[in-house]
Structure 1
């Protein structure tokens, strides 16, 4: 499968390089092919057509010579005399009378093989216009017609010239010309392909440069290509202006989210505090008022968490999210987090951890926030009578923490986007569960900021497994010492 993908990358019918190469190669083939055909016709005209003209001239002259000789001697002798006078090593002449009986012929038939001579002699008709015919691996120009003398037809005239050497030379030259044209077309196509590939290299560089640009790099990203055509340089400048506008819009959006989150969080916190205070002194309140205040307090708390998540993400995007990285024993952290989750969720949460002490360098409070979010996510989207399992183990130089549930599962098409902000799986992720749609995004941001990564593996109806991988303290020390050495 990988080989097929590589082949498609090299030979992509939709790519500009392949289209240009095929187009130019096709025009080159058409041009060289036309030149080769024209050259072949000219070669045939030079090598063969002169013989055709000679044979046609002999066929026209022989009746006149016979008429002249017949006035001086008997017709049979005059006919033979005329045939002998027009015959040479390559020209063969014979005349057939009634009942196809040969009444005169040239004296050079011994130069032909018996089979070739007999096959030529067996011919009963010939075209008035000279034609090239192959007989027993030899080539002849044939021409014929009637032989009138003094108003009487003596018989049928047959004139043949052996053009084997010229015809073979012509065929060999046509073959050589075809091979040479094919090689030239192949060389031109390869040269054109390399030239086009080299010419399109600036566009490929431009594509590679844009692929690595992320939202965090927009303010510093600049596309610069030194040795490139003017059109590509103009395209790079247009991209740079587009990146500048995107950077400005992205910065304004982050600043707006940060300001709104910060400005709204304080008054909402005050409102939530007042609501909690009123609810604690609820002696003079009716049941309806108490329910309304509890709903308002719950929604205020939910909005405060949402604003806090937005503020954390905005700070992370701006690079202002503070991390206090210190050695942390994951065994103790997992026990503490599970205890807190069991207290607030009243669910069975099982720890499967190795007895080996696993230590990482991370922000203790941020890491606690990560695991609380993952456990809270597992509790929300699984049945109350199913356990949540937290696994802790070390794999080579990495610490691995897995939060497993037996819940609804996540469809495969949604798994690649589950860590996006505000992304929800429509079937199971809704407001009724109490989620903000930012929990997993917060998890991903925090884990990656501490040098780790988080992944998900899930099946519908079987549950989900969220895996957090962090480098251990020993691996970080080894890496640091290796860089120093």
Structure 2
């Protein structure tokens, strides 16, 4: 019959059952070894005793040593019988019994299986019997049979079996109680984790599990759970902040559009200037919202893993020249330059590489005054490609540099709004760089300019 411990739904009972089964199996095995060992020892002792008595009688008959007795001497048997568990028979060469201690009757022929140990067992008796052949110069002069009654030893074995059986039962009960107690102690931190997890909601991530002082697997599990909760908390906070910022960013242009619609409704029907001003403003706000939504969708798809890189061999020289041409058209009043040291190819998503460079250049254009310079350089750096965009614009305060990649973050919110910035451009740049297993570094000094370095594997 197969027992499936998975039927026990609670882990505590599974642990208890497994512990009890293993403990019981070990105890039963040990008891079997004890019983078998004791039985083997008692039997060997009986065989040694029988053999010793038989050889002693044989020696006396043959005159080995100082003492010699005749085979017909009754004292030969009486002197050799130690107790009632020993029975001795002596017969002549024809097998006729000459002397018998008559303690019990082995019912084994005195001539049977000479010089070999025989075991006689039935419901009433357990005997060790050995027949000895007495010969002098090759002539058989008689037989000696020594039998040992093992009933007393077997009674002891039965008692030992009962004692071990009771001990097994007590041990099994103890193992169940101990196993259950140990399982409860082991699973206590897990129960605490379960109860803590039940209390966690999106609005309350401040719950923590008590780790305790012992540094074991369960405390490590508790630490890992606490770290996971902390990451979830940070993630939820960022998500809430992201939704709040997105709502705020969309609310402003919608309010502007609503204002101009009301203006048109009141005076625009008869005033062409008001109508034209309103149409231009609404177009600008719609354009801003469209760009904002597109960038939000890009980041959302990136976070969810929907965007798959379409990698190909990209000629960075050609890409930089194209970006610089576009920059000159958009901002002809900036001084443009680029440095390309030989042909440099990279295995990357060409579309995203172009989007990344455009976003960095767009920032340089927005925050570099007319007449300022923007330089792009590309070079091999060990096993990577280093792209550097440097300008001499207004720069970024040192304490703000670590925040510029946060979504919706603007160093100068008033200026960013007037230049059309949404605060998502550099967040997209960072995502693209990290998606290509690269890194991005920013160095800037207020009033002197900014240098953005992108390192990408070739």
Q: TM-score, normalised by structure 2?
A: 0.46
Question: Where is the helix percentage greater, Structure 1 or Structure 2?
Answer: 1
Q: TM-score, normalised by structure 1?
A: 0.44
Q: In terms of Rg, which structure is larger?
A: 2
